[in-house]
Amino acid sequence: MLLAGCVSTQPASVSQDVNTSPTASVRAGEVAISRHGWPAGGAEGEELRTAHHRVFTNVRNPVISARIPVFMEDSLLHYRSAFSRSRPLPAPPSTMTSYVMATRGEWASLTAESLPPTRARRYLQIERGGFAENGVGYMFDIGTQDTFAVASHEGWHQYTQTTFAERLPSWLEEGCATYCEGFRWSTTDRDRAIFSPWSNVERFDRLRDAHRVGSLLSLRELLSARPEVLLAGSADATLDYYAQLWALLHFLVEADNGRYAAGLSRALHDAAGGRMAAAVRPRATAFGRPPPLGERVFTAYITPNVPEADAAYQAFVGRVVAPGSKQAIVAGRSPLAAP
């Protein structure tokens, strides 16, 4: 069970007591990595530096410590191209900082020390997962595969928090983050990930269960839901929400031969460049009572006909979770594509 949280604000400056003399400098593929000592609360840790990341970690899992800096760099390339292949999203203007702690207890202590009490209490509800705030990621070791999935999810939040001029609505922010979770390890280079958004058994299983019991939200409900409210109320509702957003982003990328993909790309580019608010503003006056921001963004960039899109989305989910689909998900393939 993976839970995550984020706040899209500008990054805070981070001051660390570190040994800036590298203990080792290596290259993994095309990613240059510099390793430095980091006194993690009295325990021995490392600061791993790459072109766009500073990762502070004291994990004892050698696979995580070896692969995480390359994975974060590869994730960034994925964020920039996954939704806009012909025109990549902008590179971050500054280095992004992440913490990957060995235990939940150490993560909880770091969270309590780093954030105001009211903010820390919200995130400390997370049992397995992580969060990003002010462009900084806070994670802990929950097993190799899940730790990297969380790192990719939170890395998207770090990317938008440090790079985008405007905040995305929750459905788009969290939808992109869940879409970016899926990956498989390369069979030719074990330290490199191949990002495959369908390769996400956990989100698929949750989506299938919600579909089976009839608990799926309508598209209009999904566009206005807030993850922080869901998290405070029910972990199950939060997990269902993330699974549905994972499916929604696949719908926007793939449905009807990519009918909605150009609008999705335009929305992200406009938010990055500070143009989304101006594009959405007319939608606020086109109704007697303005709908929530999330719906206004959807109608401005995707389609003005939400009921029609809802019917298409619900049908799409039904096809995704049809009997026999899980085999494709396990293989990292679209369950809608021909075998």
Domains recognised in the chain with CATH numbers: 3-165 (3.40.30), 201-330 (no CATH)
Query: Quick one: tokens of 237?
Result: 């509702």
Distance CA 159, CA 78 (A): 11
30 φ/ψ sector (left φ>0, alpha ψ -120 to 50, else beta):
alpha
Distance CA 101, CA 50 (A): 19
pLDDT level of residue 295 (50, 70, 90 thresholds): very high
Calculate the dihedral angle through the C-alpha atoms of 147, 153, 159, 161, rounding to the nearest 10 degrees. -110
Beta-strand relationship, 183-185 and 193-195: antiparallel
How would you write 219-264 as a 3-class SS string?
HHHHHHCCHHHHHHHCHHHHHHHHHHHHHHHHHHHHHHHHCCHHHH
Query: Which pLDDT belongs to residue 4?
Result: 57
Asked whether the beta carbons of 19 and 179 are under 8 A apart, the reply is no
Q: How far is CA 272 from CA 266, 277, 295, 327, in A?
A: 10, 11, 19, 37
Distance CA 237, CA 74 (A): 31
More confident call, 20 vs 131 = 131
Query: Which pLDDT belongs to residue 21?
Result: 37
Tell me: pLDDT of 289 over 70: no
Span 178-196, average pLDDT: 93
Q: In Å, how far from its chain's centre is CA 143?
A: 18
Look at residue 173 and give its three-state secondary structure: helix
pTM, 2 dp: 0.89
